[in-house]
Copies of this chain bind each other. A is one copy, B any other.
């Protein structure tokens, strides 16, 4: 292998090569650091990156292997971590001057799980301000005038730009699927409650979900497996059996999966080119007449769900960022300040009424998932817009509210050849099956 091209390896390839002694973790991290030096000036994906510290971790992993210590599934593989996720050895500044210089004592549960799996924590990736809407410095690797999407901006951009094969982020509304769509990488927001959130900046207990970025479905599976778990400090996680992500993804579906194509009540927000691209995608899958795809109509009443999500998100943000509001609201962006003001004005009655809609929504979705293995819907209204915003999360909102697993597949392109994602949505707790259905669809489309 050409040592200068090791950053192009998938995480799975890299882990296997390290395990087999074909390459060292240090060589891999060196190649990724070289790639970062090359493209970071344009992309600006990193909030914190200490080359020496990354290399020291890599050498420690190489020493593990040399001394015969057990190696985890991500042994020696560098992973980017969104800068709202605590790391004991690096600052975690949450994208706000209010937390500048913040240095947590401990790793978040997911970071500890990554280290236990052998990963090298490469550095901290840029987040929007408090994982809300105000952009950080990161630019889209495909066009530096455009946004990478947010709020997991740096994680998506770093994976897209070949700086790291894997990264983790979080989604409360569209913060994983949207940047994955804009940056042209695979994004995965698992079922709510699957991955513990302890040690991560809280925005919304009801909605916050850890999400993953990679350049293939296999790599998503590889990354997801060690992160799933029960942590008493995240009361929405539960003890559950190990999920065989990689094994399920490697096996063919017992029956050809069936897909529901859902335009959703916000279809009019999508660009013309997006509508055309999805029409072509449905054609490529054999059309809606007797093919594997059926177009499903969402009851117009569901349009209210966007308001419920906003009510819950803003009410919970006002609570979780109350200390920041009290201490230094003048240091928040006007957009975030307005959002928190709205959240502070929400009545407990409306908040509870919105919460009560989630089980209703899940009940309605259950009927669809009795007919379909997955739903197909846009990830974003179109390609990445100019960098002043992080783009519209609306095509992710409903699935964040429902807590169902969602994937971004970078299968389409829009104006200017910019990436455009296909979002696949699955049933709660059927995450591995969603990955398998995604592979089946992707092979069909790309063949």
Contact = CB atoms under 8 A, between A and B. Distances in A.
A348 interface: yes
A335 interface: no
A423 to B, nearest CB: 29
Contacts of A353: 319, 322
Contacts of A319: 348-349, 352-353, 356
Is the interface on chain A under 10, 10 to 19, 20 to 34, or 35 or more residues?
A: 10 to 19
A144 interface: no
Contact of A322 (B318, B343, B349): B349
Interface string A319-358: 1001000000000000000000001111111111100100
Contact of A347 (B316, B348, B352, B356): B348
Q: Is the interface of A mostly helix, strand, loop or mixed?
A: helix
A315 interface: yes
Nearest to A312: B348
Contacts of A316: 352
Most chain B beta-carbon contacts within 10 A, residue among A315, A348, A349: A348
A386 B344 CA distance: 42
A349 B312 CA distance: 11
Contacts of A352: 315-316, 319
A161 B279 CA distance: 75
Contacts of A345: 347
A77 B318 CA distance: 52
A356 B356 CA distance: 20
11 contacts: A315-B349, A316-B352, A319-B348, A319-B352, A322-B349, A343-B348, A345-B347, A348-B348, A348-B350, A348-B351, A351-B351
Q: Rank and list the top 10 A-B pairs by shortest CB-CB distance, nearest first.
A: A315-B348, A348-B351, A319-B352, A346-B348, A348-B348, A318-B349, A344-B349, A319-B349, A347-B348, A347-B347
